[in-house]
Structure 1
Amino acid sequence: MPTAWVRTSLFVNQPQTKTKFLINQILESYDTIRIEYTGEQLNMFDNDVYLEVIRLAQDRPPSEKIIFNRHSFLRALGISGGKKNYDALHQSLQKLKGNTIKIINFKSGDSFSLIDRLSWDEESGYWWFSIGDIVINMFRTELSYIDLEIRKSLSTPLSKYLQNYMSAGLPGEREVKVDNLLRLSGTTSQLKDFLGKGRGLPKALDELKAVGFITSYAIEKNKNGEHVVKWNRSAHHKSKRAL
Structure 2
Amino acid sequence: MLEGVKHVIVILSGKGGVGKSTISCQLALCLKAQGFKVGILDVDLCGPSIPYLLGLEGQSIHQCSQGWVPVYPNEDQNLAVMSIGFLLQSRDDPVVWRGPKKNAMIKQFLADVFWGDLDYLLIDTPPGTSDEHITVMENIRQVHCDGAILVTTPQAVAVGDVRREATFCKKAGIPILGVIENMSGFTCPHCKECTNIFSMDGGKQLAKIAQVPFLGSVPINPEISGKEGGSIGFVDAFQSSSLFPIIHSISCKLTQSAPSKSDTV
TM-score, length basis structure 1: 0.32
Structure of higher RCO (CA pairs closer than 8 Å, 6+ residues apart): 2
